[in-house]
Amino acid sequence: MKFIAHRGLWNENVKPNSYEAILTGLNSDKYIGIETDVRVTKDGVFILYHDALYNGSLVKNVLYKEIKDDTCKLEDILKIKSDKIFLLEIKDFQMNVKRFLKLLNKYKRNIMLMSFDNKIIAKTRKETSNYKVGVLNYILNSDSDYYFDFICLLDAFSSNLIIESFKKRNIEVLIYGTIKPNQNLTYIIDDYKIV
């Protein structure tokens, strides 16, 4: 089994998706990488932030200077030198993919990109082959054959039959929402107690 730290390593004193949480996750021997959420502010800053709203407003309608105390810039974590996986979940489905990829390309990191939105991932794949791409819960929101590098499945929907069908097609399987990992797979887990 392999583990990716969901939103880094965090606890009641360290916010999820914060620079400290990401750095701690990348420095931990327990993890092969970190997962974090990417959104874009009104002024075009790529940030790490899970929720769609900030103080009642959509993040995409908030200036970076208004949210900066509760987030960190994506570029700040990309500056962390690490060979571990940076699993970036695209939360903003209208993101300017070319600008996003231009930022990622400045740094030589082991980046994987995923989203719940098939279209943003398809658009990303069309623009670059530099990074592995995949969709979360594709089985629940599919509209065509799956042709991406990996799939991220909710544990509750990840039967052995489904996992094996993707593996036979050389599609890597990641599992999230896990309570008890029990297969030789990569799991995205919350493990905030060890920070």
Q: Which residues of 122-148 are buried (b: 16+ CB within 10 A; e: fewer)?
A: bbbbeeeeebbbbbbebeeeeeeeeeb
Position 173 scores a pLDDT of 93
Report the candidate in 79, 59, 75, 77 with the shortest Cα–Cα distance to residue 67: 59
Q: pLDDT 10s digit of each residue in the chain, 195 long?
A: 999 999 999 988 999 999 999 999 999 999 999 999 999 999 999 999 999 999 999 999 999 999 999 999 999 999 999 999 999 999 999 999 999 999 999 998 999 999 999 999 999 999 999 999 999 976 665 655 788 999 999 888 888 888 898 899 899 999 998 767 778 899 999 864 443
pLDDT in tens, 31-66: 999 999 999 999 999 999 999 999 999 999 999 999
Q: Which residues of 97-113 are buried (b: 16+ CB within 10 A; e: fewer)?
A: beebbeebeeeebebbb
Task: Tell me which residue has tokens 């390309």.
Answer: 105
**And the tokens for 43?**
């002024």
**And the tokens for 183?**
């297969």
The secondary structure of 85-145, three-state, reads: EEEEEECCCCCCHHHHHHHHHCCCCEEEEEECCHHHHHHHHHHCCCCEEEEECHHHHCCCC
